Amino acid sequence: MKIDNLVLLKGVLDMRITNVECRLYRVPPTIVLQDSIQRIPAWEWLITTVETDAGFKGTGWSYTLGMGGSAIRELINSYLTPVVVGHDPHDVERIWTRCWQELHANGSGGFTTLAIAPIDIALYDILAQAANVPLYQLMGGYRDSIPAYGSGINLHLDGDPLLEHMEGYLARGFHAVKMKVGRDNPEEDVERVRSVRKLIGPQNKLLLDANQKWTPGEAVRCASMLEPFDIFWLEEPILADDVPGHARIRNTVHTSIAAGETLFTRYQFADYIRAGALDVVQADIPRVGGFTEWLKIAKLAESNNLPVSPHFAMELSVHALCAVPGGLVLEDVQGGSLTELGLLEEPFTVQNGVATPPNRPGHGIVFNQSALAKYEVHGQVTGVVPTRV
């Protein structure tokens, strides 16, 4: 049964949420991950199970880059679970809004939305299972696959190691690659980008990510230095909180500006779009609070003729991108996929530069519980390493 509207599900199956449980896992990266402002010492995964009295069980998750996971776990288990239990999972808007209202006094986004996301994602998983369709079809079913790009967190690499990294993406069939920029000496960025452009040739897309490194003036200067290498987009050139600064850069340079991984609400995205501050909308599904909020941001982008290309979380992003007309390209982060980390029962990988959602009811992602067990954090987190460089 394929459906086009969640409303049609209402009344098909009467069920109630009976339990919500979040577990925290700290997983070391498989490779060194460093950008212009931080290193990633551990991925923190907040994996949440939502159970219903009809036998359907959904799984959702959010993540951190090594800080704050235990706080999010506590928000879910102690504060949001009593809010959610007893509701009909079809009422995703009602549940999302109630959770957001409960937490809003602590901030409209960030910990608030990272805590809501695993529950919201699990609810969509349940609804797609109940409808017996893959999640992307439940949410819109615009396409059946999406192009992907190989994304490297690799500011520490240059010379042959950087080129070997990029060659690995080409060997896997990618036609677009992303590298980090933001060295203290911009001439080093120029040399690194020049070498990668020469390697991949003019037929492949080259994306750059500065991870909020520069001031607006520095960004204009550095972007101008990098423009000769035909950059597809320049991502997060300055502090994500600086909307006028992004608008200044976009109105000055000729390279498309991408942003959104460090934004957490549709209101923040609306501010960016009204200011003419970006060309590519990169809303991160866990960071904005799950699919309920992400779909609103995607429609906001669509109504302003802007494409969406979610940050990270490719196992979720593939469904979102295939659901909506404005989907541009999927990010496959080396060292960041659940498959690469060995956490899934069945691998999810990009084939020849194209990603296809799992063709089973729900989001189709099944975690390997025995693999996860050795990384679970019970009680207090210990051995925390600062992330900033």
| Cβ contact 105:51 at 8 Å | no
pLDDT at residue 389, as a whole number: 75
What CATH fold (topology level) applies to the domain 6-133?
A: Enolase-like; domain 1 (3.30.390)
Please work out, in degrees rounded to the nearest 5, the angle formed at the alpha carbon of residue 56 by the alpha carbons of 45 and 23. 20
For domain 136-363, the CATH class is alpha beta
Q: Which residues are catalytic?
A: 180, 311
Sheet holding 57-64, edge to edge: 17-27, 43-52, 57-64
Looking at residue 29, its amino acid is P
pLDDT at residue 387, as a whole number: 86
Low-confidence ranges of the chain (pLDDT < 70): 1-12
Tell me the H-state helices in the chain.
69-74, 81-84, 92-103, 111-131, 135-138, 159-171, 186-200, 216-226, 243-252, 266-274, 291-303, 314-323, 369-373
Can you give the residue ranges of every domain in the chain?
A: 6-133, 136-363
Task: Say what the pTM is.
Answer: 0.95
CA distance 304 to 324: 14
